[in-house]
Amino acid sequence: MLTGEFKYSLDEKGRLNIPQRVRQSITGNIMIITRGIDKCIWLFPPGEWSSISKNLIDSSSMFLEKTRLIQRRILAPAQEIEMDKSGRISIPQTLREYAGLKKDCIILGMLKYVEIWDEEMYAGYWDENETKFQDAAEKLGDKITFKAE
Amino acid sequence: MLTGEFKYSLDEKGRLNIPQRVRQSITGNIMIITRGIDKCIWLFPPGEWSSISKNLIDSSSMFLEKTRLIQRRILAPAQEIEMDKSGRISIPQTLREYAGLKKDCIILGMLKYVEIWDEEMYAGYWDENETKFQDAAEKLGDKITFKAE
DNA sequence: CAATAAGTGGGGATTAGTGGGAAAAAAGGA
DNA sequence: TCCTTTTTTCCCACTAATCCCCACTTATTG
């Protein structure tokens, strides 16, 4: 899956175009859509999803609280969706509400999956988290450097 | 059983539609309905229910308190219900009260079973548990990663 | 600037979901 | 017991959502 940050709009019928650059790295026209962590939607190619969901299911009994939390939040909202011939998806209503999608959306290619944000929510996310990001970056400082050549 | 998160309303006659996506993964039109853990209702396909209920009964003696708790809470309230021709169910009154169902309901496909929540109660559940979920997710961080290639 | 690729909009058919009337069954009362 | 009243079930009709397809517009490339 490629990376990239794109801006597209939901049309009148609630369809969202997936950029060609992202689509070309997916085989077939099926994706798995689910709630992300933070107020965004996650889109997985079927293969990636099955390995993730298998990990989530493996350690699961409905009688454990932790299992129910994970299942309800990540696993349950997952649905297979199809991209139409021109590469658009329809986002299920509950997910649209969760992510607060109105019209303008930001689509993020995350190598193995895709995130969909409402544009304003995404701006809000960075307003709140820029500092945390700076800290996280600081901690990477020791590990990640350009090697002298 | 498929996953998916859906929003439907109880109608005037107290009927609730089960989404086509969920129905199509069930053979026949019979389901077992019972109290769930947390303020929701559980719906099982007959096959799943018989293995769960057998587990609950087998590993238990009525002389143990813990058994009686589980039996009264999960096993006893269970009833068979039928879906009508357009795929709706009528939810028994005691269960409706337990889950606080008013009008708008959230239906969660949980792979092996289905959960039914009152919409507001479900929102409340996440208000209370979002932090617990974030912790649980954070702990999964070690286990669930994309393998370097 | 022409040719091709990518993205957008919308009409019409089909399916899913909703509401409600009428028949059947159950409950209640004299 | 028999009649009335209420509840449940069954079915049909209407509405809304989804899907499928095609055509138009915009962007990209040589």
* Secondary structure of chain B in HEC code, one letter for each residue: CCEEEEEEEECCCCEEECCHHHHCCCCCCEEEEEECCCCCEEEECHHHHHHHHHHHHHCCCCCCHHHHHHHHHHHCCCEEEECCCCCEEECCHHHHHHHCCCCEEEEEEECCCEEEEEHHHHHHHHHHHHHHHHHHHHHHCCCCCCCCC
**Which of the four pLDDT bands, split at 50, 70 and 90, describes residue A123?**
very high
Highest mean pLDDT among A61-70, B1-10, B113-122: B113-122
Answer yes or no: is pLDDT of B136 > 80: yes
Q: Do B34 and B78 contact (CB within 8 A), yes or no? A: yes
**What is the pLDDT at residue A79?**
95
- Amino acid (1-letter code) at residue A16: L
Q: Could you read off the pLDDT of A95-115 as tens digits, one per residue?
A: 999 999 999 999 999 999 999
CB contact under 8 A, B108 and A48: no
Mean pLDDT of B136-146: 78
Answer yes or no: is pLDDT of B149 > 50: no
A15-19, A50-54, A103-107: least confident range: A50-54
For A62-95, letters b (16+ CB in 10 Å) and e give beeebbbbbbbbbbbbbbebebeeebbbbbbebb
Return the structure tokens found at B146.
Answer: 């994309």
Return the structure tokens found at A73.
Answer: 């939040």
CB contact under 8 A, B143 and A55: yes
**What is the pLDDT at residue A88?**
95
Q: Can you tell me the distance from the alpha carbon of B34 to that of B92, in angstroms, rounded to the nearest whole number?
A: 9
Q: Do B98 and B118 contact (CB within 8 A), yes or no? A: no
Find, in chain B, the residue whose alpha carbon is nearest to that of A66: B136
Q: Can you tell me the distance from the alpha carbon of B87 to that of B19, in angstroms, rounded to the nearest whole number?
A: 8
**What is the pLDDT at residue B74?**
85
User: Which parts of the protein come within 7 Å of strand C, by CB position?
Assistant: A 8-9, 11-13, 17, 19-21, 23, 86-88; B 8-9, 11-13, 17, 19-21, 23, 86-88
Mean pLDDT of A9-31: 92
Q: Which residues pair with B26 in a beta bridge?
A: none
Answer yes or no: is pLDDT of B140 > 70: yes
The phi and psi torsions of B9 (rounded to 5 degrees) equal -115, 145
Q: pTM here?
A: 0.89
The contacts of residue A66 (CB under 8 Å, 6+ apart) are: B136
Find, in chain B, the residue whose alpha carbon is nearest to that of A62: B37
The structural domains of chain A, with segments of one domain joined by +, span 3-140
CB contact under 8 A, B38 and A63: no
Which chain B residues contact residue A57 at CB under 8 A?
111
In this complex, the residue with its CA at the shortest distance from the C1' of nucleotide C6 is A20
**What is the pLDDT at residue B77?**
86
CB contacts < 8 A (A, B):
69
Residue–nucleotide distance: A33 CA to C5 C1' (Å):
27
Within 7 Å of a protein beta carbon, the nucleotides of strand D are 8-13, 18-23
Chain A residues touching chain B at CB-CB below 8 Å: 35, 37, 48, 52, 55-57, 62-63, 65-66, 68-79, 92-95, 111-112
Return the structure tokens found at A25.
Answer: 């790295």
**What is the pLDDT at residue A149?**
62
Mean pLDDT, chain B, rounded, equals 88
**What is the pLDDT at residue A140?**
84
Mean pLDDT of B62-74: 79
- Residue A68 has its nearest CB partner, among B3, B38, B106, at B38
Angle at CA A75, nearest 5°, toward A69 and B11? 85
Return the structure tokens found at A60.
Answer: 């699961």
Mean pLDDT of B116-121: 95
Helix (H) / strand (E) containing A108: strand A104-110
- Residue B146 has its nearest CB partner, among A63, A68, A112, at A112
CATH 2.130.10.30 fits A3-140, yes or no: no
Mean pLDDT of B90-99: 90
